[in-house]
Structure 1
Amino acid sequence: MEIIELKAIIKESVREVLREERLILSQMLTPYISDEEQIELETEFGSPEDYDTEELIDMTQLVREEMFINKF
């Protein structure tokens, strides 16, 4: 096995581990709410399916730009 192939395998393995750890972290940081709290929230704010699309803002591009800016 050549050095380049070995580096590629290691790099991909590290990416996989980081991806898994990031998922675990996000699950740990997501607050738990009970069924009663969920019903209360849906009663007060409705369900996302009920929202008008004009009320929504797609933050995807903004987040990508922020991540890019903070990367350097």
Structure 2
Amino acid sequence: MEPTISLDAQALKALIKESVREVMREEWFKFFDLLTPHVDNEEQAAIEASFSPTDHPDTDFVDITN
């Protein structure tokens, strides 16, 4: 006979909740990937050649990481 694992209702609910969050996060990333246009190497090189970080001083940006 296989061993069984007993979970109380709260632990089971937490496990299901975290599993659903993981799946939703994966699906959102897939969705965002579908919305992001494809850029080939030639087009990316043209973008990088026409724009430079030195053209945009730090004062043009707001730090929202905190």
Q: Give the structure-1-normalised TM-score.
A: 0.66
Aligned to 2:31: 25
Q: Which has the larger radius of gyration?
A: 2
Distance 1:38 1:24 in 2: 22
Between the aligned residues of both structures, percent identity stands at 42
Q: Give the structure-2-normalised TM-score.
A: 0.70
Cα RMSD for the two superposed structures = 2.0
Q: May I ask how many residue pairs the two structures share in their alignment?
A: 59
- Greater share of residues in helix: 1
Distance 2:42 2:62 in 1: 28
In structure 2, stretches of 5+ residues that fail to align are 1-6
In structure 1, stretches of 5+ residues that fail to align are 62-72
Pair 1:58 & 2:63 matched: yes
